[in-house]
Structure 1
Amino acid sequence: MNHRSLPGELHDDDQRPGAAPPPRPPRPRWPRLAGMVAAAALAALGCGAAGSSGPPASAAERPAAVMTPAQIAARATPAVVTIRGDGSLGAGFVVRDDGWIATNFHVIAGIPDLEVVLSDESEHPVLEVLAFDEERDLAIIRIHAPRKLPLLPLGDSGAVRPGDPVVAIGHPLGLADTVSNGLVSAVRVVDPALTLLQISAPIAPGSSGGPLFNERGEVIGVAAAVATQGQNLNFGVPAVYLKELLVHPDPVPLSTFAAETADEAPSLPAVKRSVPHHALTLLRGCDEGDLLVMARTMDGAIQVGSPLYNQGDFASCYHIYEGAALDMERRLGAACRGPKRALAEGRRKAARLDDSAAQAWAMRDAFDGLLDVILRKVHGDEE
C-alpha cells in the first residue's frame, strides 16, 4: 500500500498483513511551539532565565492534606485515560464528568478515527474536538460518557515554584498505569504567551497528554515529553491554559479537525516493508518490567529518530534505532531471550544493507514487529 509519509512516520509501502501499523510518534508541527521548547531547553542548560507562570488562576476546591504519590495515584487513576488511533497513542484525563477529556494537541492532530479507553477498559469513539490550542499543545475532546465519569480537579499552576513536588501518571503503550514523581526543576517563561513547567519526573513515551499533580492531588499541568538536542527533557503545559479552553469551547467534528490538521510531508524514498510477525511465544520468559523497557525504549527512539528521517537525516535515524536496540539487549532480563534474538537479527539485517535509509527501515521493521507482539500480549490476544 502506498501513501504519503507523515512527519513522525516512515513510508509503509508493503506492510505485511496482520502486522500493526507503525506507531505514529508526535509530529514536528507547530513551529512556534517547537521554537519555544528549544528555547526552554537552552534555558535548562543555563542559557536563559526562569520565572513564574503569570497571574494565578483560581484553584479548584483543594483536598485538605498533602498526599503521598501512592495516594494521588489511587485517587486519580480512574480519571486517567488512553487515547489511540491510526497507530498513535497518548494519554488524557477527564475534566468534566459528561465526557470532556484533556490531552495534547499532537496526540490527536490529523487522525480521523480516535478512541478513548477508560480505566475500566471500555472503549469509546471521540465525537468532537471541543477546543484546542495548537501553540501550547493542548486539546479537549468529547466522548459519549456511559455514566458520570470521575474527574480531576485543576489546581493553581500560577502558584507552582521550583522545588515543588510533582507526580505524573500515564499509560505507555497501553500498559499498566505508570506513576513517577519528582520536582519542578524550573518554571520557564519562554515568551509572553507561554510558560512551561520543567520537571524531573520522567514522562514515558506514549504518556504525553497525561496529568501532572501537585502534592495535594490537583492537576497543575499536562505532560509533554520532549526530545531535543540529543536529550529528553520533561515539560508540563500549565493548567491555567487548559482552564482558558474549558471556558471557551468551540466544538468541531473530529473528521473536520483531522482534515484541517493533516500534515503535508516532503517526498521520501519508497521502501518495501518487511515487518516480522512474531508468535506470542517470543515473549516467553519476559516479565512486565521487560515489556515496559521495550515499549519505552522503542517508542522513545521512534519519537527522536523518525523526525530526523523525515528531514532526510537517514544516518542519524539509523544510529538512534541501532543504539536503542543495543540498549534493550543489555537491559532485558536473562530469561527474555526471544526479543533479544529479534533485535540482534534486526541489527544484522541492517548491517548488511548499503544505504542508511534502508538501514533505518530494517531497524524500524524490527521495532514494529516487537511492538505488535507486545500489544497483542497486553490486549490478551491468543494465537
Structure 2
Amino acid sequence: MNVRWTLAMLALAVPVAMVACSAENEAENQSSETDPGTSLLTTTTRPSPTAREIYDLVAPSVAFLETDVSTGSAVLTDDGWVVTNAHVVWPRDSVRLVFADGEEHEDVPVQRIDDYLDLALLGPIESERRGIPLLESIDVATADEVYLIGYPAESEDFPTPSITRGLVARLRRWEATGFDFIQSDTAIAGGQSGGALVAADGTVIGISGLTFSDAGFALSLPIDAVTEAVADLVIGASPQPFADSINIAPQVREAEIRLSHTWDEEAFVFEGADEPTSLTLAGGSEPFLTVLDTFGEMIYPAADEEPEITADGRVFTFDTGGFGPVYAYVTDFSVDATIVVTSDQAFSHVIDNDDARLLRIGSTTEGSFGIPGDYDWFAIELNAGEAITVDVDSLSDVELLIDTAENESIPLAEDFDSGGGLFDTNPEVEFTADQAGVYVIVIYEAFAEAPAGYVLTVE
C-alpha cells in the first residue's frame, strides 16, 4: 500500500471541523481510543470527495502522451512505470510525456506491449510526483459513480487534463481472461485512451481505451488486470515496441522470399521517403504488391495503378509522401513461389513467427497481428470426414477462413462474427474435411489494424 496515497485520500475524505466537547464527551472519546474493538472509521461517516478534490488528487499523475502520429493519455504508477494503451504508442519506440504542471519527459522508451489486452509499458521515469498504486483487487458495481481523467482531442504542447463524470453501466466479462471490463457512460474521445477511470472515493479502478457500440460507452480495463499485466511486462523489460510475434530484420535493398501457398504473404517495412519508391518483384507466376500505412490505409495500388513489366520483373512504384513507416506485402497466386525483391530504398523484412505453425485438434494458440494488414496462417492435417470447430478470441474484429493450399477461388469455409466474445465479433467456423490432407487456417484483422492479439482454439 502506498502510504502517501493513503494519507492523501484521508486528507480529502475527512473535513476539518472545530467542535466544543464537554468533559463527558472527552471521557467517552478517551474510552473509545483505548478500546481496541472500537474504530473511528466505524463510528464516523465520511463524505465522499468532491469532483474537484478527485481531480486534484488524480490528475497530477495522468500524463499527456505524444508521438509524431498520435496523442493520448498515460498513467504514472507508484514505482515509476507509465501505463497506456498499446494502440496509442504503436509502432513508435519512444514517446513524449507532459504532466499537468508542465513537467516534461522526452524520448520515454516503450519497453513492452501486451497486444492482447492493448497495454503498453513505458519508462521508467524519474519524478517526484506521486504515482497511482496498482491494486490487486477492486470493488466496483453497476450504478457506481465514476470519473474519467485524460487528454481528449488535445493539440497543445502543454495541455490541461479533462475530467468527465458518469455511471458504471455494467460490468462486461471477457470470458477468455476472466476479467470484467468496466462499461461506463463517461464521455470518451480520441486522445483519452490510456486515461484513468476513478471511483467516487478517488481510487483509480481502470485504464480507459475502448468504446462499446455506437452509443459510445467507454470500456476500461480494470486495474487488477492492469496490475497483473504490468507485473508480467516488467519482467525482463527491454525496449520492444513490436509484439513478440514479430521480428524486424536489418535493412537491405534485396531479399529472396518463398511463398508456400496462395494465402501466404511476406511483408517489408519501408521508412517514409520524400521521393517515390520503386520495388521490383522477379519470379513466381504473377507476384503482386500491396502497401499500407501505419493506420492500415492502402497507399498502393490505387484504382488505375498497374506494375510495369520489364525484363527484370514486375516494377511497382508507390509514394509515401515522406510518411513512414509503411508496410509492403508481396503475394502470389501460385504454390511454392520463389521471388526476389529489390528496391531503390532500403527496407526491412518482417519475420512473422506466427505463420506456418502446425495445429492439432485440442490445441490453443496465442498470436498477434503485429503490423497493419498482417495475415496469420496455420496448417492442420485432417482425415476425410473429420470435423473441427475453430474459434478466435480477440479485442479486435478478426476474420477467419479455412482452405486448401492450392485453392485460388472462394475459401472452403469462412466466418466473421458468429463466435461471441467481448464485442460479439469473434469468428467461429465448423468444418468437415471432404478428403484427407493438409488444410490452411487463415485469420486477419478486418480493418488491417495493429497491434492486436488473439487466442485461436481448434476443437
TM-score by length of 2: 0.41
Higher relative contact order (Cα pairs below 8 Å, separated by 6+ residues): 1
Write 1 or 2 for the structure with the bigger share of helix.
1
Write 1 or 2 for the structure with the bigger share of strand.
2
Larger radius of gyration: 2
